[in-house]
Amino acid sequence: MAEKIIIIGSGPAGWTAAIYAARANLNPIVYEGEPSNIMVPGGQLMYTTEVENYPGFPSGIQGTEMMDLFKQQSKRFDTQIFTEDITSVDFSSHPFQLKTSENNDVEALSVVIATGARANWLDLPNEQRLAHSGGGVSACAICDGALPAYRDKVLVVVGGGDSAIEEGLYLTKFASKVILVHRRDELRASPIMQERAIANAKIEFKWNSIVVDVLGDKLISGVRLQSTINKEESDLDCGGLFIAIGHTPNTTFLNGNVELDEKGFIGTRRSWRTATSVEGVFAAGDVMDPYYKQAVTAAGTGCMAALEAERWLTHKGLV
């Protein structure tokens, strides 16, 4: 028998979709994913220490604790949860066909894809260690930049596009100085973003440079730079490192079953809606949002996807 709704993913979008779907008596099943070296169940917030910008937590909350609370709330309404990946899908016929990492075949009347997007990192051992331990390395300035640990410090941003400039400008509100490290001698950012960065007295540039190591034991103390011209190395003291080289949406398993944009994010048929190119399949969270990438917006789209799925199922007479 086909399940009424299957939710793929377990970040704020997935768990919120589960809560709404469960309360609508859709008996949702969540495939929260298997832990791997690039993603874990719960999504990007599992790599975040202090979350201060999610409403309802005036004293802040640990990212891991927040995701556990989301999960527990979905379980309260009898959501079924499997710690498996969905490895492939077939949306060419209805009910939809899905295959799990345990080689199980599942049928679904509707699907919510909430698999998120993973930050692109430099893949340096110390970078990952300090990012996971809360040691001063982050891939989200808007999430973490206002934390007390970064205030009045010299902060380094790696990147040269609009996102890097936007994060650098945001960090100037809290940092004593922001140093933008870029591998070339000119930015890829749009002209207006470049003008804003160059005009900001708190922003400096390290051109033709890459970060080859992150220094520090429990907390970051600096970065090691290498020239892209002559390979010379130098150390730069800093109190925080922000990686701003983009995100990769987790959509490989879809294998062309839904339309994606040029960056691999799931496209939706209408603005401010979650319906994908396949009727009965909905998308929520960072997997369809290359712009905001915040926990609160992901949760909002999880709500939207569950509501749209419930209304679609009702309209089709499937529930």
Q: Rounded mean pLDDT of the chain?
A: 95
- Percentage of the chain with pLDDT > 70? 99
Let me know the angle formed at the C-alpha of 253 by 249 and 254, rounded to the nearest 5 degrees. Answer: 85
Is residue 303 part of the annotated active site? The answer reads no
For residues 125 and 239, state if they share a domain.
yes
| Annotated catalytic residue within 68, 78, 90, 140 | 140
Contact 62, 46 (CB under 8 A): no
Residue 287 included in any domain: yes
For residues 281 and 310, state if they share a domain.
yes
CATH code of the domain containing 146? 3.50.50.60
Residue 1 included in any domain: no
pLDDT for res 240: 97
User: What are 28-55's pLDDT values in tens digits?
Assistant: 999 999 987 667 888 888 877 788 899 9
For residues 292 and 185, state if they share a domain.
no
Q: Among 166, 173, 180, 164, which Cα is nearest to 146's?
A: 173
For residues 239 and 284, state if they share a domain.
no
From 227, 243, 259, the end of a domain falls on 243
Sorting pLDDT into bands at 50, 70 and 90, what band is 268? very high
Residue 160 included in any domain: yes
For residues 92 and 113, state if they share a domain.
yes
For residues 104 and 10, state if they share a domain.
yes
For residues 15 and 113, state if they share a domain.
yes
Let me know the angle formed at the C-alpha of 215 by 211 and 219, rounded to the nearest 5 degrees. Answer: 125
| Annotated catalytic residue within 85, 144, 286, 289 | 144
For residues 34 and 21, state if they share a domain.
yes
pLDDT for res 38: 65
Residue 177 clears pLDDT 90, i.e. is over it: yes
pLDDT for res 37: 63
As given in the structure block, the two tokens for residue 40 are 């874990």
For residues 166 and 222, state if they share a domain.
yes
Task: Evaluate the CA torsion angle 125, 130, 132, 137 in order and state its sign.
Answer: negative
pLDDT for res 143: 85
Is residue 238 part of the annotated active site? The answer reads no
pLDDT for res 127: 95
Greatest CA separation found in the chain? 67
> Count of domains in the chain?
2
For residues 279 and 142, state if they share a domain.
no
For residues 259 and 198, state if they share a domain.
no
How far, CA to CA in Å, does 50 sit from each of 153, 217, 305? 18, 20, 27
| Annotated catalytic residue within 143, 238, 286, 289 | 143
User: What are 76-128's pLDDT values in tens digits?
Assistant: 999 999 999 999 999 999 999 999 999 999 999 999 999 999 889 999 999 99
pLDDT for res 42: 86
From 243, 274, 293, the end of a domain falls on 243
- Which structural domain, as residue segments, surrounds residue 153? 121-243
